[in-house]
């Protein structure tokens, strides 16, 4: 059930809000749990049962980890939890790809282990809820939060329908207080509804309208020219941002309508001056998850290692070592195959170069006793150019079916050719051009300024804004109904 589907907007969403609003406060968490179960079970009963089993195991392990004072026993339980969660993710996302890559198909099929050698359907939101489960278990183990005694509350944390499919990935420590203290008011419904409408507009009126030009450019690499290739990647950058941030806006909006504050996931990433800043602004909850649960534990482990302590420039060496492992895991999280490993390493190389440059700059400033960190205009231009190259070609890798296609696509971008002549103009419909222009404009933080300086000036501008939102909603809904089912891009991850 997609947020942009007719059944969600016309039936599920009104029933949810109305039943929640009229129900007694003490039953609202149970009601949300039931609604979330229905939402996820709609996508497939066997996936729903897998999710319930995983959540139940997590609940039990959380209690066992907290109860035991013996560190060795606690380590056994946390290892079991991590192994189970990663194992589920590995089986569905990587196992069959690896067997195929190792050419082990005949062995498994002929020996009777697998009757039909094909990857199973990927459970909806598996990467996101597995990370939620892992963060809960690790936080209990590290004593950052208490284990939840009420199994329904833990189920709700994992299953909460606004965030189950694509996040944002929320820590249990941030979610748990809101289970007991939150307020559903006319104001929160109003703000949440505004956010939901904006997210829907981003998805169906901007992101979805760019599919045609993107498919044309990426699916016909051998026959498209340089202009088509540049149009394709620019359109993809817009599509990916508006599709994913559109989902996040809708999820945050839905959360607000039920009194929950979900974390922000995007903060205008295309204004970033460095590659590291880009990843602090893009898919924020994922970046923070990898930072707190991969990079920092690895960094602390390496910095204490006796062999590594002998290294010159220890902090830089350890930083880069933890960084490369974290980015390898980030690439693998996005999918199986060499392309995703290369994708993770791509970002590591660019961020590592920035770290090395900054490390040596700090040493020079310290040596010369320079306190203020000032960058010259050439340095600023270098950083922005460096970031643009990383993002532009990094997302070519991400969108391409494999590395050979990515290589051919980059070649089309860098070496002028006119293979398809002016055929690409046929892909530029009015809706496509509108999506590109509006998408580029609002990729910059213009809307917050407009809202503060114009929309919130007085009651008249606020009324006009709400009328515009109503029009936007009906336009978006019309687009969604006419287009039919349109999955969010990150659903496959």
- Give pLDDT, residue 492: 65
C-alpha distances in Å from residue 367, one per residue of 295, 356, 374:
29, 17, 16
**Cα–Cα distance, 323 to 335 (Å, whole number):** 19
- Give pLDDT, residue 469: 93
Do the beta carbons of residue 269 and residue 284 sit within 8 Å?
no
Query: Tokens representing 345?
Result: 């390493």
- Give pLDDT, residue 422: 85
DSSP 402: S
Confidence bin at 2 (pLDDT 50/70/90): confident
- Give pLDDT, residue 25: 86
What is the pLDDT averaged over residues 146-166? 93
Count CB-CB contacts under 10 A for residue 111.
Answer: 8
Convert 89-128 into a string of H (helix), E (strand) and C (coil).
HHHHHHHHHHHHHCCCHHHHHHCCCCCCCCCCCCCCCHHH
Check residues 185 and 62 and name the one with the higher pLDDT: 62
DSSP state string for 196-243: HHHHHHIIIIIIGGGHHHHHHHHTTGGG--HHHHHHHHHHHHHHHHHH
> Which residue is listed with tokens 């406060």?
25
Confidence bin at 147 (pLDDT 50/70/90): very high
Do the beta carbons of residue 126 and residue 93 sit within 8 Å?
yes
Check residues 483 and 321 and name the one with the higher pLDDT: 321
- Give pLDDT, residue 446: 92
Confidence bin at 153 (pLDDT 50/70/90): very high
DSSP 14: H
Which backbone phi and psi does 485 adopt, to 5 degrees? -65, 125
Average pLDDT, the chain: 88
C-alpha distances in Å from residue 291, one per residue of 86, 146, 482:
18, 22, 41
Q: Which of 220, 334, 360, 383 is catalytic?
A: 334
Identify whether 334 is a catalytic site residue: yes
Do the beta carbons of residue 252 and residue 195 sit within 8 Å?
yes
Calculate ∠ Cα 106-108-113, nearest 5°.
145
Query: Tokens representing 458?
Result: 């007085």
Cis peptide before 168 (omega within 30 of 0): yes
DSSP 271: G
Query: Tokens representing 461?
Result: 């501008």
pLDDT for residue 31 is more than 90: yes
CA 424 to chain centre: 31
What is the per-residue pLDDT across 375-406, written as a single tens digit (0 to 9) for each?
Answer: 778 888 888 999 999 999 999 999 998 999 99
- Give pLDDT, residue 268: 95
Check residues 277 and 117 and name the one with the higher pLDDT: 277
Query: Tokens representing 308?
Result: 């590594």
Query: Residue 376: enclosing H or E segment and its boundaries?
Result: none
What is the per-residue pLDDT across 406-432, written as a single tens digit (0 to 9) for each?
Answer: 999 999 999 999 888 888 888 888 999
Do the beta carbons of residue 435 and residue 210 sit within 8 Å?
yes
What is the pLDDT averaged over residues 335-364? 90
Which backbone phi and psi does 62 adopt, to 5 degrees? -60, -45
What is the pLDDT averaged over residues 219-233? 93
- Give pLDDT, residue 118: 59
- Give pLDDT, residue 193: 93
Count CB-CB contacts under 10 A for residue 50.
Answer: 16
Do the beta carbons of residue 254 and residue 192 sit within 8 Å?
yes
Check residues 122 and 200 and name the one with the higher pLDDT: 200
Confidence bin at 110 (pLDDT 50/70/90): low
**Cα–Cα distance, 356 to 361 (Å, whole number):** 9
- Give pLDDT, residue 227: 93
**Segments making up each domain of the chain, as ranges:** 6-181, 190-492
């Amino acid at each position: 059930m997609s947020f942009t589907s007719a059944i969600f907007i016309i039936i599920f969403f009104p029933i949810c809000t109305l039943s929640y609003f009229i129900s007694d406060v003490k039953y609202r968490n149970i009601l949300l749990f039931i609604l979330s179960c229905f939402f996820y079970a709609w996508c497939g009963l066997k996936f729903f049962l897998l999710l319930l089993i995983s959540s139940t195991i997590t609940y039990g392990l959380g209690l066992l980890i907290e109860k035991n004072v013996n560190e060795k026993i606690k380590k056994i339980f946390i290892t079991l939890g991590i192994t189970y969660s990663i194992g589920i993710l590995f089986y569905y996302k990587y196992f069959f790809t690896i067997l195929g890559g190792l050419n082990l198909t005949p062995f498994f099929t002929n020996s009777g282990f697998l009757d039909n050698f094909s990857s199973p359907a990927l459970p909806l939101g598996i990467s996101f809820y597995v990370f939620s489960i892992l963060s809960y278990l690790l936080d209990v183990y590290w004593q950052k939060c208490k284990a939840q005694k009420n199994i329904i509350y833990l189920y709700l944390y994992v299953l909460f329908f606004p965030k189950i499919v694509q996040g944002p990935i929320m820590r249990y420590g941030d979610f748990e207080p809101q289970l007991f203290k939150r307020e559903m008011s006319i104001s929160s419904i109003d703000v949440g509804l505004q956010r939901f409408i904006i997210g829907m507009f981003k998805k169906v009126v901007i992101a979805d309208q760019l599919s045609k030009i993107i498919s044309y450019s990426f699916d016909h690499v051998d026959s498209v020219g340089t202009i088509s290739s540049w149009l394709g990647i620019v359109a993809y950058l817009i599509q990916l941002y508006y599709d994913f941030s559109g989902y996040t806006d809708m999820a945050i909006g839905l959360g607000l309508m039920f009194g929950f504050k979900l974390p922000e996931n995007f903060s205008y990433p295309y204004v970033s001056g460095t590659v590291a800043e880009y990843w602090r602004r893009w898919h924020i909850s994922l970046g923070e998850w990898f930072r707190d649960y991969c990079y920092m534990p690895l960094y602390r482990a390496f910095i204490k290692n006796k062999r590594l302590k002998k290294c010159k420039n220890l902090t830089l060496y350890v930083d880069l070592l933890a960084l490369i492992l974290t980015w390898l895991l980030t690439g693998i999280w996005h999918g199986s195959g060499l392309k995703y490993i290369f994708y993770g390493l791509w970002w590591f190389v660019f961020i590592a170069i920035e770290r090395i440059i900054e490390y040596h700059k700090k040493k020079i400033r310290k040596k010369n006793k320079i306190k203020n960190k000032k960058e010259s205009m050439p340095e600023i231009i270098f950083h922005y150019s460096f970031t643009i190259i990383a993002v532009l070609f990094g997302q070519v890798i991400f969108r391409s079916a494999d590395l050979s296609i990515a290589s051919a696509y980059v070649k089309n971008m860098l070496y002028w050719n006119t293979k398809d002549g002016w055929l690409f103009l046929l892909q530029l419909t009015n809706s496509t051009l509108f999506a590109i222009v509006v998408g580029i404009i609002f990729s910059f933080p213009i809307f917050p300024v407009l809202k503060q300086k114009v929309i919130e000036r007085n009651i008249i501008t606020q009324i006009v804004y709400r009328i515009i939102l109503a029009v936007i909603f009906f336009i978006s809904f019309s687009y969604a109904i006419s287009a039919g089912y349109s999955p969010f891009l990150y659903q496959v991850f």
